[in-house]
A and B are shown apart, each in its own frame.
Chain A
Amino acid sequence: MTALQDRTRTRAAHKAQARLNPYLVIAAGAVVVVALTYMLPPFRTYQLATVGAYLCVTAGLTVLTGLNGQLSLGHGALMATGAYTLALWQNKFNLLLPGILVAIVVTTAVGAVIGLAAARLRGPYLAGLTLAVAVVVPSITSTFDETFNSDQGLSVILNPPPDSMTVEQWQAWVCWGGALLTVLALALLTRGRFGRDMRAVRDDETAARLAGVSVARTQVLAFVVSAACAGLAGALFAVIAQSVSPGAFPLTLSLFLLMAIVIGGLGRLSGALIGAVLLVALPAVAHEIGEAAGSQRLEGNLALTFFGVVLVVVMLAAPGGLASLRIPFKKKGH
């Protein structure tokens, strides 16, 4: 075999190992979701919508933490930013799609400010900064209570859904429309140069710099992208709940989000989906057990307990997360 033939065969063999086409995956996902909205009872459809909303934020967070190595304990606060922005917009203009876009833009701007500070920090110091954000942002609702109505929160004005669908179906379509677009955008982004740069910075900052990657710029951009995803998630939660309040975005939400992406599989969009499902399923199971036991106090703590137990078990059995179990004979990914 000539050298040219050998080179061609090596490159072709490598290309043959290409991953799934993201457009096909998203299209298939859309078909499945639409079908489910016609098959499931209303409450399950509502839960499906909630999974979609969570998927927006878990996808962005797993990219930030798994692919770029930045630990954020403040994404719950970014969700609150998106939610309150949408609520204020809807109560003034009642134009949902522009409102969602504005919520994304505002949260992205907040994320950019945090990201600029975060680019100078590493590890526990970055975690500390984002933790401070998670504590401070909800308290803004009390400081500016005329605008945000303090602990009571705001209701969200929404037009009724089309006559051809139930409220839950419409919510699921809106949330999963946002989620599928988010996942598609992240899949395309992370497969290209930006994805490589993020992973390079995560693995070895010095080598990344020498390869021409601006570490600070990459880290800020990664934070900004994940903040945009969190803003969208917050806006979608405001649509589902038709209200926003600081109690809906406690500090523990940020911890749950982090646990969810670790259990699902850091850096994997499929892991983000698993994490989003767990964020809905585990509290639901905890609620049913709490109800059966007749103890509200138990129910409140059970969800956190479940997450903790599942986290420990999964880390022992599959350190790469549940998504890594799909390919048991390869080393854990990323």
Chain B
Amino acid sequence: MSTEKADPGLVLHHITVRFGGLLALDDVSLRAGPGRVVGVIGPNGAGKTTLFNVICGFVTPQSGAMTLDGRPFRARPHQLARHGIARTLQGVGQFNGMTVLENVQVGGNEKTAWAALERCEVAEHAGKRPGELPYAKRKRVELARALASRPRILMLDEPAGGLDTDEIRWLADLIRDTESTVLLVEHHMELVMSVCDEILVLDFGKPIALGTPGEIRTDEKVAEAYLGTAA
């Protein structure tokens, strides 16, 4: 426990979540240290987004605890930014009645918004509405909004969904270059294997493997449950 108290970063201890009779997460533990990229993978319905929702305060676990830099952590969604946590949503969570710049400014200021837009290479679209942009650009705008708060912990929920090879390559570079701790939920295995330091594999809410990309690639349980027996 004294080791855990000094543990920097975000740590989840034995998280269990039930939705009625459905066990969505079953005794899941995770450690995301400073600057690390931790992937969370699993088939559809494995509990990956539920895990993110627990961290963000949208879902209250029936048991388990979270710590941030060794201190107990439970924040409501709108308080995450104060703790240096930012998250993107599956699909594209955007404000279609506002311009791209205004989208990124929400919760922040104009200076950091411009910096984030420039980093995501969509600054030239600042005056447009997200609906006017192609899907890949809209994903970048959402990413810019998460980056604008300069988060310590960046949670990316399926950021590669719907992107082509070039866009995924750009995304991989961004994840590698960021100084933030990154939690990555993703189905795109090439991206996950190329950027993650550690990967947690979930299946029906249970953790079935935790290790480096190389270890996960050769894990038999993972192969059987998720990657297919041919892996």
Contact = CB atoms under 8 A, between A and B. Distances in A.
Nearest to A13: B127
B89 A206 contact: yes
Nearest to A203: B95
Interface stretch (A81-89, A159-167, A193-201, A297-305): A193-201
A213 B127 CA distance: 22
B66 to A, nearest CB: 17
Contacts of B149: 211-212
Given A197-B106, A211-B145, A212-B81, A14 B101 contact: yes
A327 B95 CA distance: 21
B106 A211 contact: yes
A213 B97 contact: no
A214 interface: yes
B177 interface: no
A5 interface: no
A209 B77 contact: yes
B93 A207 contact: yes
B87 interface: yes
A147 to B, nearest CB: 42
Contact of B97 (A11, A197, A202, A211): A202
A210 B96 CA distance: 16
Nearest to A17: B127
User: Max chain A CB contacts within 10 Å: which of B87, B101, B105, B107?
Assistant: B107
Interface in B124-159: 124, 126-127, 129, 131-132, 145, 149
* Size band of the interface chain B makes with A: 35 or more
B127 A207 contact: no
A10 interface: yes
A192 to B, nearest CB: 10
A199 B98 contact: yes
B85 to A, nearest CB: 9
B56 interface: yes
B78 A215 contact: yes
Interface string A246-272: 000000000000000000000100000
Q: Which of the listed residues A10, A209, A213, A267 has the most CB atoms from chain B within 10 Å of its own CB?
A: A209
Given A203-B97, A204-B94, A334-B97, A213 B106 contact: yes
A208 interface: yes
B114 interface: yes
Contacts of B56: 210
Contacts of B105: 196
B107 A211 contact: yes
A220 to B, nearest CB: 14
Interface in A295-334: 331, 333-334
B128 to A, nearest CB: 10
Nearest to A7: B118
A333 B58 CA distance: 31
Given A7-B118, A7-B123, A214 B98 contact: no
B207 to A, nearest CB: 25
Contacts of A215: 78
Interface in A205-254: 206-215
Contact of B89 (A10, A197, A210, A214): A210
A204 B93 contact: yes
A99 to B, nearest CB: 38
Contact of A199 (B93, B95, B108): B95
Given A203-B98, A209-B77, A331-B132, 8 more contacts: A199-B102, A200-B98, A200-B106, A203-B95, A206-B58, A206-B89, A208-B106, A212-B78
20 contacts: A14-B101, A14-B126, A196-B102, A196-B106, A199-B102, A206-B93, A207-B95, A208-B78, A209-B77, A210-B87, A210-B89, A211-B149, A212-B79, A212-B82, A212-B106, A212-B107, A212-B108, A213-B107, A331-B129, A334-B97
